Amino acid sequence: MPGTHVVVCAGESSGDNLAAGMMRSLSLRRPDLRFTGMGGERMRAAGAETLVDVSELAVMGLWEVITQYSRLRGLLHRMQRHLEEARPALLVLVDYVEFNLRLGAHARRLGIPVLFYVSPQIWAWRQKRIHRIKRSVDAMAVLFPFETRIYEEHGIPVRYVGNPLVDQMDAPIGDLRRELNVPEGRRLLGLLPGSRQGEIRRHWPLMVATARCLQHRHGDLQFVVPLAPGFRPETLEALAPTDGLPVTLLTGSGRAREVMAASDLLLISSGTATLEAALLQTPMIVVYRMAPLSYALFSRLVRVPHIALANIVGGARLVPERLQGAADPEALCAEALGLLEDPARLAAMRDALGQVRDRLGPGGADDRVADAALELLETGRLGEDPA
């Protein structure tokens, strides 16, 4: 098949989104490029042939990885064989750290240049992974300016490219409140339980129970849920039915951003989505539950005061975080009511979230990471940052 071959590997919905933006920018510069790899609907829309879909990789946490180890190993071997047979000119790895670092190490043994896009949070925990990263990649493309220092200190070529979410959050957003016929003055609450199977299994029943508590105590509320790619309404209803609740389940690409923009308040799983919501300056309460074994390990190793990206980037507790045992329906219900019944607090939270956008810098990240990929593709190395 003609064209220069690039393999791109993303392991979840957020990575699929980042990879697709980079691919579109690369294709404008080099129309001869062809893409294969692992990803989702966004990568396929950008022109990739995917051998593995992100829905097959949606696990997180030590216990989840242990229980799914055999299946994940099979998928890794599939991608390793693809590299051996295809011998692409470049491998771009997007997040999904443990899986992708193994794939990167294999690619380097084959002599394939490797760009890793999105730094693992080594500044927060497991800092010794830097040595493994150095063995597994040729260069890093990072989203936040403070991430470059640790790679420079260890002699790993690195480029700060910024965060594509800055551009994406500026795009036009539909009027979801009108679509849902939300009456003037009625509060709309978005429920975002996550994009991974384990997250949804643990968070969805919690959010439904919280919604029932809120409906009982407040009454004049409406709820909306953007379904993650690969999930159907029946899946959520089987975990926790919403009968009797004024809740709408939305399917289709891009609905999460519409929900964030339209909602008065979000109950949201910790992850990239909190950064998206922050860029839209939507008040939120961040929740996260992990398997007990995973949480025991995480709580011993983590070295940052916040887990929500909105708070990490903002450098302060801009939005509430409810983790593990503290994430229970009564506590979340009380926290949400405290915000909904105090418009001044909601307004103050919106204002505070404005600093997140300031700290993320300018747009244009898709083009900058594409530039870095082209440097590796055409010269085999990443030079000094032209900026």
Q: What is the pLDDT of residue 303?
A: 59
**4-164+364-379 and 176-360 in the same fold:** yes
Both tokens of 151, joined, read 């790679």
Cβ proximity of 263 and 298 under 8 Å: no
Give CATH superfamily name and number for 176-360.
Glycogen Phosphorylase B; (3.40.50.2000)
**Closest listed residue to residue 97, CA positions, set 42, 60, 52, 50:** 60
- Rounded Cα gap, residues 124 and 305, in angstroms: 9
Cβ proximity of 247 and 210 under 8 Å: no
**pTM, rounded to two decimals:** 0.75
Which residue matches tokens 């003609």? 2
DSSP H helical segments within the chain, as ranges?
13-29, 41-45, 62-67, 69-86, 97-109, 129-136, 148-153, 165-168, 176-179, 197-217, 233-239, 255-262, 272-279, 292-301, 309-314, 329-340, 343-360, 365-379
170-175-177-179 Cα dihedral, nearest 10 degrees: -140
The domains of the chain are located at 4-164+364-379, 176-360
Question: Domain spanning 4-164+364-379 has what CATH number?
Answer: 3.40.50.2000
Q: What is the pLDDT of residue 73?
A: 87
**Closest listed residue to residue 196, CA positions, set 231, 238, 242:** 231
Q: What is the pLDDT of residue 1?
A: 47
Q: What are the pLDDT tens digits along the chain (387 aa)?
A: 467 999 999 988 888 989 999 999 999 999 999 999 999 999 999 999 999 887 766 544 444 454 465 778 888 999 999 999 999 999 999 988 889 999 999 999 999 999 999 988 775 556 778 999 999 999 999 998 888 999 999 999 999 999 888 888 876 677 899 999 999 889 999 999 998 788 899 999 999 999 999 999 987 899 999 998 778 899 899 999 999 999 999 988 779 999 999 999 999 998 889 999 999 999 999 998 876 666 555 565 555 667 788 998 888 899 999 988 888 999 999 999 999 999 999 999 999 999 888 888 778 999 999 999 999 999 988 877 766
- Rounded Cα gap, residues 314 and 300, in angstroms: 24
